[in-house]
Amino acid sequence: MERKYSTLVYCDLIAYTIKEKLGEITDGFLTGLKVSYDLAEEGYLQTTTKYISVVDANGRKYKITVEEDDS
């Protein structure tokens, strides 16, 4: 029997996996700090896009964006 997956969007899963594993796969050079959401001013989720704040061992900050690819 073929396994069917939900048509949900997995930006959360991808973003949190990157955040949690980044330090491990870079031997601590990069650290995932937090995952932020694309919120409207009123506070609701505007899109499924997630932003991961990252810092390297030199203190430089980065932002990784995870979003759906509709192509």
Instruction: Look at residue 6 and tell me if it is in a domain.
Output: no
Q: How many CB atoms lie within 10 A of CB 12?
A: 14
**Closest Cα partner for 14 from 69, 61, 71?**
69
Q: Is 1 a residue whose pLDDT tops 90?
A: no
Say if 1 falls within a structural domain.
no
pTM, two decimals, is: 0.84
pLDDT of residue 70: 87
pLDDT digits (tens, 9 = 90+) for 11-44: 999 999 999 999 999 999 999 999 999 999 999 9
Position 49 in a domain = yes
pLDDT of residue 8: 78
| pLDDT digits 0-9 by tens, 53-65 | 999 999 999 999 9
Domain count within the chain? 1
> Would you state the pLDDT for residue 6?
66
Print the domain residue range for 38: 11-66
Residue at 40 is within a domain = yes
